[in-house]
Amino acid sequence: MNIEEYRKAIVRLDSTARFNIVDGVIVWQSDEISKEDILENIEWHNARKAGYPPLEDQLDMIFHAGLGGDEFQSAIQAVKDAHPKRGN
């Protein structure tokens, strides 16, 4: 896991946490969050992220369900009209 994953997990666990990461070491300036909690949060976040379909598929689902509002529908339809599908 990289430092950015740790930083994001800490912020998800406590958006008011004050800390620095120096040479890969978390330096706390407020109450510490346990390493176990941070690792569990990273694992949860990665599993949740992996469970979603790709954004392109999500947007296609929204379009085909007629959701997203008139502006969204018009913008997507304009692209589909300008670049129709070819073959399968």
Q: How confident is the model at residue 46 (pLDDT cuts 50, 70, 90)?
A: very high
DSSP-assigned letter for residue 29: S
Q: Which residue has the tokens 């109450």?
A: 31
Is the distance from CB of 33 to CB of 42 less than 8 angstroms? Answer: no
Supply the pLDDT for residue 86: 84
Supply the pLDDT for residue 36: 95
DSSP 32-75: ---HHHHHHHHHHHHHHHHHSPPHHHHHHHHHHTT-SHHHHHHH
Is the distance from CB of 27 to CB of 20 less than 8 angstroms? Answer: yes
* Percent of the chain at pLDDT exceeding 70: 99
Break the chain into its structural domains and give their ranges: 3-51, 53-88
* Percent of the chain at pLDDT exceeding 90: 83
Q: pTM for the full model?
A: 0.65
